Amino acid sequence: MSLTFTRRRTAAAVLTAALLVPLAACGSDDKKGSGDKASVSGEPEADLTVLAASSLTDVFKTAGAAYEKKHPGTKVTFSFAGSQELAAQVEQGAPADALVTADTRTMDGLKSETGSPTVIAKNRLVIATEKGNPEKVENLKDLADPGLKVVLAAPEVPVGRYSRQILDAQKIDVKPVSQEPNVRAVLSKVELGEADAGLVYRTDAATATGKIDAIDIPDAQNAVASYPAATLKTSGNGEAATAFVAWLSTPEAQKILADAGFQKP
């Protein structure tokens, strides 16, 4: 083997090693960290799971799409259920990043599991009846008619508790034919003709326009439902979860909520 060939091979080896050093450094950087990732804009990115009250089903699908459009690289997946079911999931350690309930009581019971909550919207109740209101229900007192099939949410569900609150305040005795696990189940019973009337949130009634009639309840006889949102301490995407919860109070998110019939917080 010639001395010239040996020198060339050695030089090539040195050059190759020099080129590999920065590549190896890049590879080690890619493996650093877990949870939140930073986008080109510096904003946190993640696959977020948000536990949300059933009454937010439609509006949050719209809000989630708007958030993903504004925050490329972040995906938001929602899990909808009654607030009491969501609380049980959190207590059992279900993997999630944020929580939005339909009442402050449920959220307050999870202080050790959440960050500081922020109320993002409010709501009120209406009486939902079959389309055309065949039983001629006009007000809360009519719900006491023993011949009327009334369905309510269970008392441990926020909308069920609000329902009992306003009925008790008016000293109206209603014996429901069933007590449902969430507001959407109440609405479904009325839509399907399995109940003559039920108490639901105004925003839920709005999603069933053309299928049911909604009778307003005067503010003096009504209840105000508050929707607090908070991050979960067990989230593996803390920065991204905080960013999403904060976004829910922005003008963009508030307009989406208002367009769906929710009141300002």
Q: Give per-residue pLDDT as tens, 53-76.
A: 999 999 999 999 999 999 998 999
Residue 178 in this model has a pLDDT that exceeds 80: yes
DSSP secondary structure code for residue 109 in this structure: T
Output phi, psi for 78, to 5 deg.
-105, 145
Structure tokens at 240: 């991204």
Whether residue 106 contacts residue 77, with contact meaning beta carbons closer than 8 Å, is answered with no
For residue 234, the Cα-to-chain-centroid distance in whole angstroms is 17
Q: How confident is the model at residue 18 (pLDDT cuts 50, 70, 90)?
A: very low
3-state secondary structure of 151: strand
Whether residue 265 contacts residue 226, with contact meaning beta carbons closer than 8 Å, is answered with yes
Torsion of CA 29, 234, 119, 152, to 10 degrees: 140
**Which domains are seen in the chain, by residue range?**
38-122+226-259 (3.40.190.10), 123-224 (3.40.190.10)
| Residue at token pair 């459009």 | 69
Residue 42 in this model has a pLDDT that exceeds 60: no
Cα–Cα distance measured from residue 101 to residue 52, given in angstroms and rounded to the nearest whole number: 6
pLDDT for 44 equals 65
Q: How confident is the model at residue 24 (pLDDT cuts 50, 70, 90)?
A: very low
Cα–Cα distance measured from residue 108 to residue 20, given in angstroms and rounded to the nearest whole number: 55
CB proximity list for 26: less than 8 A, separation 6 or greater: none
Q: How confident is the model at residue 223 (pLDDT cuts 50, 70, 90)?
A: very high
